[in-house]
Structure 1
Amino acid sequence: MYVPFPIRDIPLGEPLPVHVWDRSGRLLLRKGQIIRDERHREWVAMHDPQVREDEYRAWTYRYTTAIDRALRGNQSLEAIAGVGRPMGFDDTLELAPDERPVSEIWPDLHAALTLLLHQGEAAQDFVGRFLWIERRMHGVLRSRVDDSLFVLTQMLFDRELGYSACHALLCAVIVRLVGQTLAWDEARLQSLQRAALTMNLGMARLHDDLARQDAPLHPEQRRQVLEHPVRSEAILRRLGVHDALWLELVRDHHEQVGGTGYPHGRTEVGLPAQLLRMADVYVARISPRHARAGLPSPRAARDVYLDASGMPTPLGTAFLKALGLYLPGTYVELASGETAVVARRGRRANTPLVFAIVTRDGWPRGEPPLRDTADPAYEIRRPVSADDIRVRLQPAKLLARL
């Protein structure tokens, strides 16, 4: 059963809390996508947008619950009037382990994180909501790491999704994996992951805008970019964050050994901050932007693996060991002539498991076979840009076969 969706009530630039359909059952917008502008809103409205009744009830229930919470807390009428329809999720509930496919879990977390980053200093219960996202992340990463990398990389390639949260989630998973490879303790890993999720808090909306921008940064944008590490740290302090390492990493994630980074040009930079910058640079380089395609993951990995003199570093070696050359969710061409999507990291950095999604003759496969690229018949010939792929993947079906 479907009911009308109140598209006029949805704020521009905020992630949608539900899938939106037209009357014929065609998907108009996926959960987590945004209404870009009023022209986009009008286009959706013309198609008589609908939503599943159970999703609509859950969404409006969160709204009435927020109102009730404000009333019971004796908040002012002004504060109660300011309660908007929540675009995220109920963060106060202790949820059972989420057994859904990761292709459903990560878009939900992306939508929740996008809203939190966009609200920034104005967010109510920032720390509580942030910890809810973190708990859900830990739950799915306990057993489904490669599936998560696959889904997050595919989300990163989707230009319709908000870039800042995609970037943050993938960076957070990467720094945890590399930190575990280095045998760092859980307290350090936790601070590092939290810093990855919030390092761009001070420019989250701008981060999204720049991913869609063709022109170079104008002076005001450049100023905001250069100031965002300090601004992000200051916002976190005002929101109640007291973890010294978390705050330090957010402040220093663009600093470089030798003093060539910003905002302070520090010459001494700790290993956690170096790793956070490494993940930040890697994810940015493989990300497609409106004005350019992303770099192949082997090229991006090489760039962070080697230092300025062309020599590998211990941190770069751990990075490559943790992720491999071919990140799950990226595309390659095989010696067989097939085009494939990377599904699993392999025993070696250059031998992942892949699904062959296009035949050597250019025909999409209905049931992609799994290939081991350690087999010379299916070794990787070259990476393929996501922009060159015309096959629409169904991650849940693919990953269910592994």
Structure 2
Amino acid sequence: MHEPVPVNIWDAKGVLLLRKGETITSEQHRGVLLLHAPVVLASDWQALNYGYTASLDRMVRDNQALNRIAGLRALSASPAEVAARDAGVSVPEAWAELHATLAALLHQGASAHQFLERVLRVQSQGEQLWHDQADNSLLVLVQLLFDTRVSYSATHALLAAGLCALVAPLAGLDEKQRRALVLAALTMNLGMTREHDEMARQPGPLSSAQRKVVREHPQQSVALLRQLGVLDAEWIRLVAQHHEKPDGTGYPKGERVDRITHRLLQMADVYVACISPRKSRGALLSQQVARELYMGGHRAPDQLGALFVKSVGFYPPGSYVRLASGELGVVVRRGEKANEPRVAALVGRQGLPLGEPVLRDTADPTWAVAASLPPGEVKVIVNVDRLIARG
């Protein structure tokens, strides 16, 4: 950081993000760059690694100290590997790097290099983050759903996978089932990644061509996964059937599917889609979506839906609420009860932004949650890093 970059940095669409010689000015600047899945030209990468090899050879021939030689770095490590090595990386930075890796994999599709190895790394490091930092991970990824500058498809996949990881232990799934479930969540929309991003930003209804893509994407995703070397039968089956229903009214084949892993994947997929704002509609309120899952399709309490709500809450971290005090805030932690989260108040009862976020425990009736709010109703920029730092 604060050192000039040695090459031009581009995004996956060929837009120049950082010119050779410019510097990354802050951790926030670095995080924004990572969200755009930064890449360098193959020729630049080869030149840099040739330079690294030449420098290493020269240092050895000059008999320089081993600690200086060890400090010479090649530029071949992936962002996820860097995150794993760097003990000081923050939760938002870790998710930004995993998002960048996954966005690149999903957009590259059949041409992705070392797809299986890299997606397994995203799954492994992501599950560790969910295990160690569940509330902060929800805060980061739910907030990221509201950012139209980054790949919606990658955010959707990471959050859906995380929700599956949170609920799976309560549902009694073993390690093998959980792993296949999380990997399916990360890749279920592989067959329509670009269209997924476009539809999230599209102001009008889907065209007939887009509806065809949606209907066929489970099979397209399976075909790509097989082409990329995926052999896990349960992973493949979950992706193939993630839009099928118990009564046979789903798609693409109209199969009757009612396994716990299938239902949990579908719940996570539907939940993330519903709380995500679209150009064509606002986000549905998290409380409303949670209640729908809890009641199930037959308007009677659903056991798996109840576990989902118990794990996530009615108001997940990252979502917005109005308190009984009249304050508006963002949820930062789940509470002991599904309807009693910890909230950072951002806007006072007079409608003016607070100088600093104020933590409220909504188990206290004074600060009880009065309502969920769509993201557009809170006109304050949320600094996720500061909220996490405040605990």
TM-score, length basis structure 2: 0.84
- The structural deviation recorded for 1:140 is 2.0
The superposition leaves residues 9-51 of structure 1 with CA deviations (integer Å, 9 ceiling, x where unpaired) of: 5442789699x9899999699224559xxxxxxxxxxxxxxx9
State the 1:147 CA deviation: 0.3
**Shift in Å, 1:167:** 0.2
Matches of 1:187 and 1:401, distance apart in 2 = 36
Q: Which residue of 1 aligns with 2:263?
A: 274
Partner of 1:354: 343
- Aligned-partner Cα distance in 1 for 2:76–2:194: 16
- Greater shift after overlay, 148-157 or 177-186? 177-186
1:74 corresponds to which residue?
Answer: none
Aligned twin of 1:258: 247
2:91–2:136 CA contact under 8 A, matched in 1: yes
Matched, 1:342 2:343: no
Aligned twin of 2:284: 295
Q: C-alpha deviations, 1:230-250, integer Å up to 9, x for none?
A: 111111111111111110000
2:313 pairs, out of 324, 327, 331, with 324
CA gap 1:24/1:286 in 2 versus in 1, 3 angstroms: closer
Query: What aligned pairs does 1:2-401 form with structure 2 within 5 A after superposition?
Result: 3=4, 10-12=11-13, 30-34=32-36, 64-65=48-49, 89=78, 95-96=84-85, 98-401=87-390
Go from structure 1 to structure 2 and tell me whether the alpha carbon gap of 1:66 and 1:17 turns closer, same or farther (over 3 Å shift): farther
Is this contact kept in 2: 1:15–1:31, CA < 8 A?
no
Question: What residue in structure 1 maps to residue 60 of structure 2?
Answer: none
Q: Contact (CA 8 Å) 1:301, 1:325: kept in 2 or not?
A: yes
Q: In 2 relative to 1, CA 28–129 (structure 1 residues): closer, same or farther, beyond 3 Å?
A: closer
Q: Which residue of 1 aligns with 2:57?
A: none
- Contact (CA 8 Å) 1:286, 1:296: kept in 2 or not? yes
2:318 maps to amino acid: G
Using the TM superposition, name which of 196-205 and 5-14 deviates more.
5-14
Cα distance, 1:214 vs structure 2: 1.4
- Letter of the 1:171 counterpart: A
Query: Offset at 1:316?
Result: 0.6
Q: Which runs of 5+ in 1 are unaligned?
A: 36-50, 70-85
Q: Distance in 2 between matches of 1:90 and 1:23?
A: 15
Return the alpha-carbon distance in structure 1 between the equivalents of residues 84 and 9 of structure 2.
31
Q: Pairwise CA RMSD of aligned residues?
A: 3.4
Structure 2 CA distance for aligned equivalents of residues 212 and 201 of structure 1: 18
Task: Note closer, same or farther for the CA distance 1:334–1:92 as it changes in structure 2 (3 Å cut).
Answer: closer
Structure-2 separation of matches of 1:103 and 1:291: 28
Equivalent residues, number = 365
Does structure 2 retain, via aligned residues, the 8 Å contact 1:154–1:330?
Answer: yes
User: Structure 2: which amino acid aligns with 1:310?
Assistant: R
SS of the equivalent of 1:400 reads helix
Q: Report the secondary structure of 1:300's partner residue.
A: helix
In 1, distance between residues paired with 2:185 and 2:14? 22
Alpha-carbon separation, structure 2, partners of 1:152 and 1:117: 17
From the superposition, tell whether residues 258 and 88 of structure 1 become closer, same or farther in structure 2 (CA, over 3 Å). farther
Tell me the equivalent position of 1:82.
none
List structure 1 segments (4+ residues) > 3 angstroms apart after TM superposition. Answer: 1-11, 13-18, 20-29, 32-35, 60-69, 90-95
Note closer, same or farther for the CA distance 1:62–1:372 as it changes in structure 2 (3 Å cut): farther
Distance 1:5-1:299 versus aligned 2 partners, 3 A rule = farther
**Structure 2 CA distance for aligned equivalents of residues 87 and 164 of structure 1:** 26
TM value normalised by structure 1:
0.82
**Contact 2:8-2:16 at 8 Å conserved across structures:** no
For 1:30, the aligned partner's letter is V
Summarize the Cα distance change of 1:362–1:91 in structure 2 as closer, same or farther, 3 Å threshold: closer
- Alpha-carbon distance change, 265 to 62 in structure 1, aligned in 2, over 3 angstroms: farther
